[in-house]
Amino acid sequence: MNQTIKTLRIEHRNIAYLLDLLERQTDSIEKSGDPDLSLIVEIVDYLRSFPDMYHHPKEDLVLRRLRERATGFDEKFFKLDDDHEHLSDELHSFSKKVSALLTDPSPMTRSDFILSARSFINREREHMAMEERFFLPAAERWLTDEDWNEIDKVVGRFPDPMAALDSGQRFIRINKHLESGRNTGAAYSDETSAPV
Ligand SMILES: [Fe+2]
Ligand SMILES: [Fe+2]
């Protein structure tokens, strides 16, 4: 497996792990438990920063090359650009529900949050599942070694996400969660993926 595909799969595992954490916090809100609001804020902050800046651009690079190479390319499976835009919009509107929850924990606000959280989580999971099932295998099938060398070179020039996104303190709790996820095999990371 080439490095870019490996990195994208690792990043999917990390994002999936964070969605599970977010879902558990959402369950807690639904059951009138004691949700960890600061963790929710950190996850949403991370999801608003990392994918758009570091994950989607790598996929866009692969997609561009795939469009050139694949014959009988079925666009309907690969509307990644549109999907990324919709996910970004949905996350933006979900983040407003998070802000509302911080200042007004009324039943109405909680129920708005729950609806929005579940919708975003499902959509993000569906998106990644499509990429894992169709997009990445198609890229592996159609792209040549030369394509991958070029893509790997560009991806290799991406800055270290945690260093670029801040000092590493901004996502300190997420890093701790992912570290424990890595220890149990539920999340992965390496030097080319975030967080590190
Ligand atoms: Fe994507
Ligand atoms: Fe992805």
Output the domain CATH number for residue 117.
1.20.120.520
Residue 159: CB partners within 8 Å, gap ≥ 6? Answer: none
Asked whether residue 23 is domain-assigned, the answer is yes
In this structure, is the dihedral angle defined by the CA atoms of residues 119, 122, 126 and 132, taken in order, positive or negative?
A: positive
Ion ligand 2: residues, CB within 5 A, are 131
Asked whether residue 53 is domain-assigned, the answer is yes
- Whole-prediction pTM: 0.85
Range of 140's domain? 3-184
Cα 42 to middle of ligand 1, angstroms: 21
DSSP notation for 9-36? HHHHHHHHHHHHHHHHHHHHHHTT----
Would you say 17 and 178 are in contact if contact means Cβ atoms under 8 Å apart?
yes
Domain tally for the chain?
Answer: 1
Asked whether residue 192 is domain-assigned, the answer is no
Asked whether residue 195 is domain-assigned, the answer is no
Cα 52 to middle of ligand 2, angstroms: 10
The 10s digit of each residue's pLDDT in 15-70 is: 999 999 999 999 999 998 788 999 999 999 989 888 888 899 999 999 999 988 88
Q: 36, 26, 24, 19: which is closest to 112 by C-alpha?
A: 26
Asked whether residue 100 is domain-assigned, the answer is yes
Starting from the CA of residue 9, give the closest ligand: 2
Asked whether residue 125 is domain-assigned, the answer is yes
Cα 102 to middle of ligand 2, angstroms: 29
The 10s digit of each residue's pLDDT in 73-113 is: 666 667 888 889 999 999 999 999 999 999 988 899 999 99
Asked whether residue 196 is domain-assigned, the answer is no
